[in-house]
Every structure is written in C-alpha cells, then in structure tokens.
Amino acid sequence: MGWGNIYKRRIRVFTMAIIVYLDYKGVQQREKWTSKSRQAALWEKAHERNAKRVLNLMIEMEGLWVKFGQYMSTRADVLPAAYIRLLKQLQDSLPPRPLEEVYGTIQKELGKSMDELFTDFVNEPLATASIAQVHRATLLNGREVVVKVQHEGVKAVILEDLKNAKSIVDWIAWAEPQYNFNPMIDEWCKEAPKELDFNHEAENTRTVAKNLGCRNQYDGNTNANRVDVLIPDVIQSTEKVLILEYMDGIRLNDLESLEAFGVNKQKIVEEITRAYAHQIYVDGFFNGDPHPGNFLVSKETPHRPILLDFGLTKKLSSTIKQALAKMFLASAEGDHVALLSAFAEMGLKLRLDIPEQAMEVTTIFFRSTTPANDYHKTMKSLADQREKNMKVIQEKMNLDQKEMKRFNPVDAFPGDIVIFGRVLNLLRGLSSTMNVQIIYMDIMRPFAESVLSGYISRGPSVNDKWIFDTPVHSDVEGKLRQLLIEMGNNDKVLGIQVCAYKDGEVIIDTAAGVLGKYDPRPVKPDSLFPVFSVTKGMMHWLVDNGQLNLEENVANIWPAFTSNGKDAIKVHHVLNHTSGLHNAMANIVQENPFLMFDWDECLNHICMSVPETQPGKEQYYHYLSFGWLCGGIIEHASGQKFQKILEEAIVRPLHLEGELYIGIPPGKVYRNPRIIDEFLGSGEYKNLALPSGGFGLGFKRYSSKDGSSVAFGHSGMGGSVGFCDVTNNFSIAVTLNKLSFGGVTGKIVHLVCSELNIPVPDDFSRFMVQQRGPDIARPIIN
C-alpha cells in the first residue's frame, strides 16, 4: 500500500467525521425551533442519514473500519436503531470478493486444484466479513465443510489502519489527556494481527472446544458449570485458508427464522453468556469477538448456540484471571476493599482514592442488559453517572474546569483487560439486539466463584495463620482467641477485630480471619472495616465547641426541616431517639434503596418526612434515619460538610489524613470529662432524656441485673459493637466484616465480662442460650 493510498484513507475518514459532526450540530440548532411533536422525527432522519454515510465509508475502507462497524452494530443498548439496522450487515453481508481471487488463494495455500480438493464448491458465499468470506463445500470423502478464505491484501490494509488508529489515539491523548485510549489501541495492535493467521485460529478453535467440553450430541449433563454449546471441528488450516466442519444453523440476527423454529432467545443468549463466563473465569482463554455474525443456532432440538470464529482470542495469566474474578465478585458484594485489591492485582492504578466511584463504575460495567428501545434512557443514565463521578473527583482534587478537562483519574490501565471489556460490551449489545435481559451478576457468578473456591483458605482449621500474630496481653485474651477459633470453624466469623481496655490498660487487641469472602489477605488490628452507629459523638463535639445547643429546635438550625409538623423537635429529641422520625427512611428503602447512597437526596427526604409521635414522648430507635438526622444538623450548625467536621475534629488532630480508624492509637484519645454524662443522658443532661428510656443522648444505656453498673453502647447494623462500663472502667469494641445480628459479638462480650467479673447486661447474656442454626439472634439495637 503506497503513501498516496495511506493519506487518501486518512483524509476520507477525517472528512466523514467532520461531515457527521457538523450534521448533528446543525440538528441541535434546528431542534430549538422545532415543535416537540416533530423533534423525534428530526433526529430519526439525522440518524438514518448519518448511519448510511458511516456504513458506505466502512464498506469502502474495509479492514479495521469494518471491525469497528461490527462492534458498533452490536451496541443496541447505546446507539440509535438506524445504526444498528444498517451496520449489522457488516457482520457477514459485505460485498463478496471475485471467485477468481477465492479460487486462487485456495489453490495456492493448499497446493492442489479445486477438483483435487472438493467434489462440490458453492460459489455464493455463506457470509462475507472484514477479513474473509466463507463458502460451503464437500470434500472428496463426502464430508460437508465450510471453507474460510482470507481476502487478498487485507493484511496490509489492517496493519496500516492500526498504525493510523494509533496516530489518532496519540493525538487525542495529547490534546485531551482525560481521553487516553493508548492502552486499548496498544492491546489491539498486539492482538489483531493474530486474526490474520488461520493456523492460529484453528488452534484456538480446538483449545476452546476442548475447554468447554463440546460434544455434537446432547448428553443431559446438568453440572452447574456445564456449558451446552457447539463448536465445529477443524479439518485443515493454512495461513489464509481454514476448513471446518459444516453445521446447519440459523443466524443469530435472523429473528424471523428463530421464531419459526421455536428458538428460546433468552435461553440461547444466557447459554452464550455462560460459555463466555467459563472461557474467561475458568479457562482464562476466551474469544474476543462475540458479535452476532459469529454465532449460529442449531436447527435441531434442543436448540444450542454454535460458536464460530476464534481468530481474536485472549489468554489470561492465573493472576489476572483471579483478579478479574475478584473484581466481579467484589462488585456483586459491594466490597470496596476487595475491589481495590483486585485493581491492584491486575495493575489498574488510580490517581486518587475514590472507592465509591470505583465501585459505581464497576457495577455499571457488570450491569444487567437493557432493551434496544431504551438506549436513550441508558445513555442519559450513563452520562449522569459520569458527570456525578467527575464532580466528586473535581472536589476531591480541587481542580478548576480547565484542569478537570485535562485530568485523567486512571494512572495505569492494564492491556490484559481491554479485550475482556470489549467482550462484556459486545455481549451486552448482543442481548439488547435480541431484546432479552441478561443479569450478569447471576449468570457469571458461579464461574467467578469457582476460580477462587480453592484459592482462599478462610477457616482456622485449614489456615494456621487465621489468628493474626500479635502478643497475648492477658489470660482473657487467650480464652477469647479459643472462642474465635471455634466460631471460625463453625463459619460464624469471616474477619474480626476485638480490642478492650480495663483501668486504662489494653487487655485485648486481637485480629483474626480474612479481609473478605474473596479477599484472602489477613485481618490485622489496623485493617479498616465498615461499621455503623459510631459517629454519634460528633454532635457532642459541636456542643462542647459552642456550635450547637442540645435544647435548640432543629428547625432553627436547619430551616428546611420545619415542614410537616417538625418545628417542635429539639436536638436532644433526635439524640434521645424520641423525635418520632424513626421510620423517616422506610419508604426510600422499599422504593429505591440505591438512593441511600445519595446524601443530599436523603437529607431532602428527612425534611419532607412526617413525625409519627410527639417529640420527647416515646422512644423508638432510629435505626435508619439517625445518621441523616445527625448529619443534617451537624452540617447546618457548623456550615460545613460532615466530612470536613470529621477532619477538623478527628482526622487532623490525630494525624489520620487519608484514613479514619475506628480504633484510635493509644495516647491520642480525644478526652472530654462530660462525654459520659452526655452519652448516658445523666448529670446535667438528665432532663433531656426519658427517665425510663433505653437510650441516653445517642447510645443505648442500661444497668446490669443487680443494678450495680451503669454502661452505654450497643451493636450497629451488621453486628459490630461498642460497649463501655463506666463503673468498672471497662470498654470493648468488636468489628466484623460478615453480617451478624448480634450473636457473635454478644458471646464475645459475655465471655470477656464474665472472665473479668464484670456484670453482663441482659442484652449480651441472652446470647448464651443455646442457639441452633445460623446467627439469627435479634439485634441488640431493636
């Protein structure tokens, strides 16, 4: 290919891009003067017009541009219908090459004449795609086959197009650093040329067929990870010719024929998805090009997918395979720690600590498919999510608009996951094209779990380092560790931390287990766990600093709170759980629990809520609404975001920048002589709490059975517990990373208190009643 043709191709591509761009900009302007009833038609005509332009250019350019068009044709979830309808012919319906060229390639590659090879050769191709076209034929022994013949000169075209694409991507990365696609194009430059050697494809076909255990006859095997698909046998191959077994099937994009044969489209796409889950997570060797043209459906019952074209494949190392499985499962479990661990293992590095945004992006990556006609809604949802995430990054990095446009949050992107990402997007597009919904979290999970099942040793019976190696501070700690081992062997504990003080001295500081169900790293005393009901003290910090009055009406601090009869609620009513807003968040949990991740939306929900009881009259634990009630008061009383208050009160004074530990290092404890009275609702705060109520100003308060001990604290959602016995100068904290309803922590507190001759409150001693089955005890907070 001469330099003239190279530049001609570049000019054609850039010219078309400018034409399409200006066309759509013009439509945006015309839309302003078009009635709403005609706007949809205006856009449909524009999509039809530009889709034809793109299609004609890709057919003319051939090579890599056809591959790109094939990819676009599968994205029915994000592209207008006109593009899908027109570009899908690029999957297998390109203009065929001349027969003279086809015959010449076959005879040159195989070294024999057509008559010496076949008794019959059908001149009209079954399909013509970007690299080759396929003909049906019959061998001399009578076996029916298909013959895949590479287009003459296509190798030079694709290699040159890759260079051009690399140049374009380099320019984009220089001009707009936040759009650095170099890892993607580098991976393509490495993998795409392999498609041009059909010997490579033949070997890939054999490998995948062996891995999936493909059989031509259905054997009724119902193993959970058994994949029921067909792959043609390889008969012969050279660099440019591939002969495969002929399988009579229906094209996946031939919806009318699928309907006529009674094919269950949902089942077919689910089985294709399972086949790819097996290839990725179990085998670590997968086909990277699952567009509709590379699938057939067998005509005989039971109808099964036929997988074709293994030119573009990807082999994963065991490390990357495990990391991808961990990433998937961490997303399914909402485990931020395991997700960031998976990123690190696969070499994905972020420029800043944004675990929430990383989780949101990953969850979107594995989201369930949507119908093709919902593409407008899907695109808007993705755009809104991206805008929200970029705002978080902008605030965190303190960037102005100009700096933000050039900021790329990804520092290193591993090429190994480029083809993986392409496969998921193609599968999602395939599902939308077929108008079926695929729930990836359900279908792929068993395969991802199988990768890690023998990789993580969770229990102490198989892991001699299950208890983290730290000194034993006391006899009671030694007994506690024996209890933890027993619980671990009974699968009651995944990861746990226990710390206790007596008379100002550390008597227990034990960590055990692993960081997550799919994260084998050991739990250490300073490992971060998610815990609940631990930030109530921030209200008292504001009181002690003169920024908040416990007897102030909340509406005076937070004006929007006034509505719906809440003007009489005081700050101490909120802390004492007598505000009547204990069910304020119930509707949002039932209707859309994901809104609980939107701080401002939840504060608005609190403002619109209606109290169910009169302030100060009845005490009901505000198990869901409490955090937002306190957070709203804190933000409006201080004029700062809650995170800023945390930094001012705890993070900066204790030099914990970038971390917020539940256990504060010795010698750096924030001391307030009135804090006990505030938490208990006693002393000068006695009149602000219900005399017979179970809660002080924030935490639960109670006496032991003999009435000799006054204490406060309780378990949070998930089972972690904080407890302080003021009379006996004793405190203990237990954190868990596996959901528990109080049984685990109750037994631990009971053991430690009993060993120290400290009265055990009823809420903890009740757990010593023999339980059967899983930890289903009633939470202490209820």
pLDDT value of residue 684: 58
Q: Would you state the pLDDT for residue 119? A: 97
pLDDT at site 203:
96
Give the Cα separation of 67 and 90 in Å (integer).
8
187-215 pLDDT, tens per residue? 777 777 788 899 999 999 999 999 998 75
Structure confidence at residue 310 (pLDDT) = 93
What does the pLDDT read at residue 708?
42
All structural domains of the chain with their residue ranges? 3-95, 475-532+716-782
Pick left, alpha or beta for residue 54 (phi over 0 → left; psi -120 to 50 → alpha; otherwise beta): alpha
Token output for 270: 């689910």
Q: 457: pLDDT confidence band, cut at 50, 70 and 90?
A: low
Q: pLDDT band for 242, please (50, 70, 90 cuts).
A: very high
Confidence of residue 240 (pLDDT cuts 50, 70, 90): very high
Q: How confident is the model at residue 511 (pLDDT cuts 50, 70, 90)?
A: very high
The reported pLDDT for the residue numbered 710 is 55
At position 222, the amino acid (one-letter code) is: T
- 675 has a pLDDT exceeding 50: no
Cross-strand pairs, 745: none
Share of the chain above pLDDT 70, in %: 74
Q: Label residue 438 by pLDDT band (50, 70, 90).
A: confident
| pLDDT tops 90 at residue 364 | no
The type of residue at 181 is F
Mean pLDDT to the nearest integer, 18-30: 87
Residue 355 confidence class, pLDDT cut points 50, 70, 90: low
pLDDT attached to residue 365: 65
pLDDT at 668: 34
d(CA 318, CA 321): 5
B/e letters for 563-600, b = 16+ CB within 10 Å, e = fewer, are eeebeebbbbbbbbbbbbbbbbbeebeeeeeeebeebe
Least confident span in 37-41, 44-48, 358-362, 553-557: 358-362
Confidence of residue 153 (pLDDT cuts 50, 70, 90): confident
pLDDT band at 357 (very low <50, low <70, confident <90, very high): low
Average model confidence (pLDDT) for the chain?
79
Q: Does 782 have pLDDT greater than 50?
A: no
Provide the annotated active-site residues.
289
Q: How far apart are CA 8 and CA 549, in angstroms?
A: 75
CA 767, chain centre distance (Å): 37
Structure tokens that stand for 472 in this block: 């034993």
The band of 11, judged by pLDDT with boundaries at 50, 70 and 90, is confident
Question: Residue 6 has what pLDDT?
Answer: 61
pLDDT of residue 258: 94
Of 13-22, 100-109, 668-677, the range with the highest mean pLDDT is 100-109
Lowest-confidence range among 28-32, 270-274, 276-280, 463-467?
A: 463-467
Label residue 367 by pLDDT band (50, 70, 90): low
Mean pLDDT of 589-614: 81
pLDDT at 776: 36
Confidence of residue 123 (pLDDT cuts 50, 70, 90): very high
Largest CA distance in the chain: 105
Average of pLDDT values for 539-568?
A: 90
Which of 41-55, 216-230, 330-344, 448-462 shows the highest mean pLDDT? 41-55
For residue 589, what pLDDT band results from cuts at 50, 70 and 90?
Answer: low
d(CA 536, CA 630): 7
Q: Which two tokens stand for residue 367?
A: 């989201």
CA dist., res. 218 & res. 202, Å (int): 24
Residue type, 602: C
Element containing residue 251 per DSSP (H, E): strand 249-251
| Cβ-based neighbour number of residue 649 at 10 Å | 18
Q: Is the pLDDT of residue 682 over 80?
A: no
Q: With 70 as the cut, is the pLDDT of residue 112 above it?
A: yes
